[in-house]
Structure 1
Amino acid sequence: MPAPELVDAVVVGGGVNGLVAAATLADRGWDVVLLEAHEVGGAVRSQQRGDAVVDLFSAFYPLSAGSPVLQRLELEAHGLRWRRADAVVAQPMSPDDERGAVIEHDPQRTAAGLDAWYPGDGDRWLELVAEWRRLRGPMLDALLGPWPPVGAAARLARAMGVAGAPRMARLLALPATRMGEELFGGEAARQLIVGNSQHADIPPNAAGSGAFGWLLCMLAQDVGFPVPEGGAGELAQALARRARAAGARVEEHVPVESVEVSAGRATGVRTADGREIRARRGVLAALDVELLLGHLVGHSHLPRSAVDDLRRFERDLPTLKVNWVLPHAVPWRASAARRAGTVHVGRTVGPSVRWAADLDSGRTPDDPFLLTGQMATADPTRAPAGHEVLWAYTHLPRALVHADAATLERVAREHVHRVSDVIERYAPGALDGAYDHFVQTPHDLQDADASLVRGALNGGTAQLHQQLVLRPLPGTWGARLPIEGLYLAGASAHPGGGVHGSCGHNAAVAALHDAGLHGRLTAPVRRAARRRLFPDRQVGPPVR
Structure 2
Amino acid sequence: MLPPPEPAVTRTPDALVLGAGPNGLVAAVNLARAGLSVLVLEAEPTPGGAVRTRETTLPGFHHDLGAAFFPFGQVSPAFVPLDLPGAGLVWRHSPIDSAHPAPDGTCASISRDAALTAASLGPDAAPWQRIATWHARTRDRMLDALLSTLPALGPMLRFGPLNLLRLAQVALSSGRGFATRTFRTEAARRMLPGLALHTDVGPDDPCGAIVGFMLAVLASSAGFPVPEGGAGSITRALIHRLEEKGGTLRCNARVTEILVRQNRAVAVRLATGEEIPAGRAIIADLAAPTLFLDLLPEPHVPDRIRRAMRRFPHGFGTFKIDWALDAAVPWRHEDAARAAVIHAGDSLDDLSTFTRQVRSGALPDNPYLVIGQQSVPDPTRAPPGRHTLWAYSRVPSSLAGGWQASREAFADRIEQRIEQLAPGFRSHILARALWSPPDLQAINANLIGGDLGGGSADIRHQLFFRPVFPWFRHRTPVRGLYLGSSYAHPGAGVHGACGRNAALAALHDL
Instruction: Provide the TM-score with structure 2 as the length reference.
Output: 0.94
1:418 to 2:413 alignment: yes
Tell me, yes or no, if the aligned pair for 2:52 and 2:65 is still in contact at 8 Å. Answer: yes
Please, which moves more after superposition, 431-440 or 366-375? 431-440
Tell me, yes or no, if the aligned pair for 2:193 and 2:202 is still in contact at 8 Å. Answer: no
Tell me, yes or no, if the aligned pair for 1:2 and 1:275 is still in contact at 8 Å. Answer: no
Q: 1:25 aligns with which of 31, 34, 43?
A: 31
2:3 is aligned to: none
DSSP-derived class of the 1:325 partner: strand
What pairs up with 1:40-79 in 2 under 5 angstroms? 40-48=47-55, 49-79=58-88
Deviation per CA, 1:474-520, whole angstroms, max 9, x where unpaired?
211131112221101111111111100011001001101111xxxxx
Provide the rounded CA distance (Å) in 2 between the counterparts of 1:169 and 1:345: 28
Provide the rounded CA distance (Å) in 1 between the counterparts of 2:133 and 2:166: 16
> Identity percentage over the alignment?
38
- After TM superposition, give the deviation of residue 127 of structure 1 in Å: 0.7
1:340 to 2:339 alignment: yes
DSSP-derived class of the 1:394 partner: strand
DSSP-derived class of the 1:66 partner: coil
Provide the rounded CA distance (Å) in 1 between the counterparts of 2:428 and 2:96: 26
2:283 is aligned to: 284
Provide the rounded CA distance (Å) in 2 between the counterparts of 1:35 and 1:5: 16
Provide the rounded CA distance (Å) in 1 between the counterparts of 2:149 and 2:448: 25
Provide the rounded CA distance (Å) in 2 between the counterparts of 1:132 and 1:8: 41
- TM-aligned CA distance change 1:497 to 1:2, over 3 Å: farther
Tell me, yes or no, if the aligned pair for 2:407 and 2:434 is still in contact at 8 Å. Answer: no
- After TM superposition, give the deviation of residue 350 of structure 1 in Å: 1.5
Tell me, yes or no, if the aligned pair for 2:21 and 2:49 is still in contact at 8 Å. Answer: yes
Which amino acid is the alignment partner of residue 111 of structure 2? E
Provide the rounded CA distance (Å) in 1 between the counterparts of 2:207 and 2:490: 14
Tell me, yes or no, if the aligned pair for 2:50 and 2:65 is still in contact at 8 Å. Answer: yes
1:427 to 2:422 alignment: yes
- After TM superposition, give the deviation of residue 299 of structure 1 in Å: 2.5
Tell me, yes or no, if the aligned pair for 2:194 and 2:345 is still in contact at 8 Å. Answer: no
Provide the rounded CA distance (Å) in 1 between the counterparts of 2:292 and 2:302: 11
- TM-aligned CA distance change 1:331 to 1:96, over 3 Å: farther
2:121 is aligned to: 114
DSSP-derived class of the 2:282 partner: strand
1:321 to 2:310 alignment: no
Which amino acid is the alignment partner of residue 68 of structure 1? P
Provide the rounded CA distance (Å) in 1 between the counterparts of 2:104 and 2:413: 18
Deviation per CA, 1:203-246, whole angstroms, max 9, x where unpaired?
12112321111111111111110001011101111111111112
Tell me, yes or no, if the aligned pair for 2:103 and 2:346 is still in contact at 8 Å. Answer: no
1:389 is aligned to: 388
Which amino acid is the alignment partner of residue 135 of structure 2? W
1:493 to 2:502 alignment: no
Which amino acid is the alignment partner of residue 453 of structure 1? I
Provide the rounded CA distance (Å) in 2 between the counterparts of 1:363 and 1:439: 19
Tell me, yes or no, if the aligned pair for 1:4 and 1:275 is still in contact at 8 Å. Answer: no
Provide the rounded CA distance (Å) in 2 between the counterparts of 1:467 and 1:65: 24
1:191 to 2:194 alignment: no
Tell me, yes or no, if the aligned pair for 1:396 and 1:412 is still in contact at 8 Å. Answer: no
DSSP-derived class of the 2:201 partner: coil
DSSP-derived class of the 1:323 partner: strand
Provide the rounded CA distance (Å) in 2 between the counterparts of 1:86 and 1:111: 14
1:536 is aligned to: none
- After TM superposition, give the deviation of residue 250 of structure 1 in Å: 1.5
1:7 to 2:3 alignment: no
The structure where helix makes up a greater share of residues is 1
DSSP-derived class of the 2:376 partner: helix
Provide the rounded CA distance (Å) in 1 between the counterparts of 2:296 and 2:73: 30
DSSP-derived class of the 1:393 partner: strand
DSSP-derived class of the 2:253 partner: coil
RMSD: 1.8
Tell me, yes or no, if the aligned pair for 2:300 and 2:477 is still in contact at 8 Å. Answer: no
Which amino acid is the alignment partner of residue 447 of structure 2? L
What pairs up with 1:241-390 in 2 under 5 angstroms? 241-390=240-389
- After TM superposition, give the deviation of residue 410 of structure 1 in Å: 3.3
Tell me, yes or no, if the aligned pair for 1:91 and 1:345 is still in contact at 8 Å. Answer: yes
Tell me, yes or no, if the aligned pair for 1:331 and 1:429 is still in contact at 8 Å. Answer: yes
2:4 is aligned to: none
- TM-aligned CA distance change 1:208 to 1:50, over 3 Å: same
Tell me, yes or no, if the aligned pair for 2:107 and 2:120 is still in contact at 8 Å. Answer: no
1:472 is aligned to: 467
Please, which moves more after superposition, 423-432 or 164-173? 164-173
**Structure 1 gap segments, 5+ residues each:** 516-544
Deviation per CA, 1:159-179, whole angstroms, max 9, x where unpaired?
x3xxx5434312122111111
Deviation per CA, 1:316-351, whole angstroms, max 9, x where unpaired?
111000111010110111111111121011332121
Instruction: Provide the TM-score with structure 1 as the length reference.
Output: 0.89
- After TM superposition, give the deviation of residue 261 of structure 1 in Å: 1.1
2:234 is aligned to: 235
Tell me, yes or no, if the aligned pair for 1:197 and 1:210 is still in contact at 8 Å. Answer: yes
Deviation per CA, 1:123-173, whole angstroms, max 9, x where unpaired?
111111111122212211111111111111111225x3xxx5434312122
DSSP-derived class of the 1:142 partner: helix
DSSP-derived class of the 1:141 partner: helix
What pairs up with 1:121-140 in 2 under 5 angstroms? 121-140=124-143
Provide the rounded CA distance (Å) in 2 between the counterparts of 1:83 and 1:168: 30
Provide the rounded CA distance (Å) in 1 between the counterparts of 2:450 and 2:47: 19
Which amino acid is the alignment partner of residue 471 of structure 1? R
Tell me, yes or no, if the aligned pair for 1:196 and 1:217 is still in contact at 8 Å. Answer: yes
Which amino acid is the alignment partner of residue 475 of structure 2? R
Provide the rounded CA distance (Å) in 1 between the counterparts of 2:291 and 2:191: 37
What pairs up with 1:500-519 in 2 under 5 angstroms? 500-515=495-510
**Structure 2 gap segments, 5+ residues each:** 1-6
DSSP-derived class of the 2:468 partner: coil
Which amino acid is the alignment partner of residue 17 of structure 1? N
DSSP-derived class of the 2:259 partner: strand
Please, which moves more after superposition, 293-302 or 60-69? 293-302
